[in-house]
Chain A
């Protein structure tokens, strides 16, 4: 039971978990690796999750997006069996996270939002020990090499930078060769360069064959990484789809702005199909319309011999959509 159906533009890949094929045919849905029905969780009197339904399919990067305190961490930690659900049914790879925790732990990897390692523990030592504890199913030296930790192998955890710690945490999440990896606020506190490096690492995790569940409150991160995103607000999923479709569904308004050159004559744009409004402020013009408006406006301007050199197109971002969804939900209009 998915809040919205899965439909994603083609991504060329040979992975069995690919979400769409490049031949245009409707792809068969990948098997679900996580299924959640009616998940509820409270802390004392405070309800944090108020009945969540989710399906995560194999091979995708699935993001859970929400404000701080929206219940994202509670949701993923309950799904992993690190917290107990008050109600609801959860299956991860067919396993009950609470009753079959031990079996589940051998096939999932996790980077938790607020976890740590002993300050004096060295990088190589951590990888070696955790790999051993996971049954030596992967070569920890290879993992150390792949994640750029070889030069840091003798460095204590307490001396690592934020980005280095995250690399180590991702590597540790992979020591059991997991089929599902949970990454919670992975790039929090990282500088832009480290953040982008980390995104690349997440893609590599998926490329290695794992399904990734990403928890984030960063719109930019979700737009860059996620195949699908579920927006969690006040303990409920208020929308779930691909980032692109969420944006398109929520608001199709596209703004085309330009400045008329001084010698340009008048040009009429409000008759163009899809145009909702044309606003002029001196030579500055803003045309509001649907997704085809920028092309039609540009064609009309060319036809009229007007070639503005500052034409810009502003499409709504995921952040715009997110803010609107949150405001609508808060004011009682349930969006999804």
Chain B
């Protein structure tokens, strides 16, 4: 078979690609921040309301903690779920829907690189949004004493990774931005209500507790809250969060390897 000159090889390191893409995604996000508004406003707002309403409660129902402290610590995890399960899948599916992923792929950028860049940017946003929860809580209620900073950091990092992997799965499954939004909301709402942002587990029915126990968000909230307030052992919820991370990564790898015929 006659062919022209042999091809040269691409020599762009994967790290350079990821850094360039992440920088690009971050800049674009700064210009189009409106869709992320919910993830930044909703958690501090709900935290203010719930911590205020149940200010006089506390004790056994809240794992021995003050209700205000309980909700401040619990709401660190809510922006995590909102951004990972709603923002990330919508952005990813929107790229697919509008042909941006195809444009990237035609330029030699793998879907994995685009996914990783979006996940990294979302991780940065999660840190900012969680910081905003604390910044709003501090002058109003004061921050609860931090018992186990390493546990909080570990739980937050592992939880972020787990939720991001699940968000990527949703984004790869949804064909359009609207379906990703609907899917994300469907997943986020029970996680928020039963996984730490709503009533404490002790006032839930058995069925609700069983459902809550099956949700990854519950374990993430448990780790962060218990490590912060010193209200419980974090080993089990940390392990369960790690299991969800593995599940999410396996699903991501399968979906990315499956590589749709047309991205």
Contact = CB atoms under 8 A, between A and B. Distances in A.
Interface string A160-192: 000000000000100110010000000000000
Interface string A123-145: 00100011011110000000000
Contact of B107 (A116, A133, A179): A133
A29 B261 CA distance: 35
Interface stretch (B41-49, B79-87, B97-105, B122-130): B97-105
B26 interface: no
A91 B3 CA distance: 8
B12 interface: yes
Given A31-B4, A32-B4, A93-B4, A133 B12 contact: yes
Contacts of B102: 82, 112, 114-115
Contacts of B207: none
Interface in B96-144: 98-100, 102-103, 105-109
A132 B11 CA distance: 11
Contact of B103 (A102, A115, A120, A125): A115
Given A116-B100, A117-B103, A132-B20, A106 B108 contact: yes
Given A35-B1, A80-B106, A129-B20, A106 B100 contact: no
B20 A83 contact: no
Given A35-B1, A106-B108, A125-B24, A133 B7 contact: no
B102 to A, nearest CB: 4
Given A35-B1, A132-B16, A172-B107, A94 B7 contact: yes
B20 A134 contact: no
A94 B17 CA distance: 26
B99 A112 contact: yes
A278 B57 CA distance: 105
Say which size band chain A's interface belongs to.
35 or more
A302 interface: no
A14 to B, nearest CB: 17
Interface string B23-59: 0100110011000000000000000000000000000
Main secondary structure of the interface of B (DSSP, over half): loop
B21 A133 contact: yes
B109 A118 contact: no
Contacts of B12: 132-135
A120 B3 contact: no
A95 B7 CA distance: 8
A242 to B, nearest CB: 20
A93 B28 contact: no
Contact of B1 (A32, A77, A120): A32
Interface in B235-263: 261-262
A11 to B, nearest CB: 19
Contacts of A118: 28, 95, 100
Interface residues of B, number: 34
B108 A102 contact: yes
Contacts of A100: 7
A164 B89 CA distance: 30
B97 to A, nearest CB: 9
Interface in B1-22: 1-12, 16-17, 20-21
B108 A32 contact: no
A153 to B, nearest CB: 15
A138 to B, nearest CB: 13
Contacts of B98: 116
A139 B3 CA distance: 28
Given A121-B24, A132-B20, A115 B106 contact: yes
B136 to A, nearest CB: 28
Given A31-B4, A110-B106, A105 B10 contact: yes
A120 B28 contact: yes
Nearest to B19: A132
Contacts of B11: 135
Nearest to B262: A83
Given A117-B100, A121-B28, A179-B5, A130 B107 contact: yes
A91 B7 CA distance: 11
B88 to A, nearest CB: 15
Contacts of B107: 105, 110, 130, 133-134, 172, 175-176
B7 A93 contact: yes
Contacts of A176: 107-108
Contacts of B108: 102, 105-106, 133-134, 176
B122 to A, nearest CB: 15
A257 interface: no
> Which residue, of A107, A117, A118, A172, has the highest number of chain B Cβ atoms within 10 A?
A118
Contact of B109 (A35, A83, A94, A133): A133
A116 B3 contact: no
20 contacts: A29-B2, A33-B3, A33-B4, A35-B2, A82-B105, A93-B3, A93-B4, A94-B4, A95-B7, A107-B7, A110-B107, A112-B106, A114-B99, A117-B103, A120-B31, A120-B32, A125-B27, A132-B16, A172-B103, A179-B5
Given A31-B4, A115-B103, A133-B12, 12 more contacts: A31-B5, A32-B4, A102-B10, A104-B7, A116-B99, A125-B27, A129-B21, A129-B24, A133-B17, A133-B20, A172-B107, A176-B108
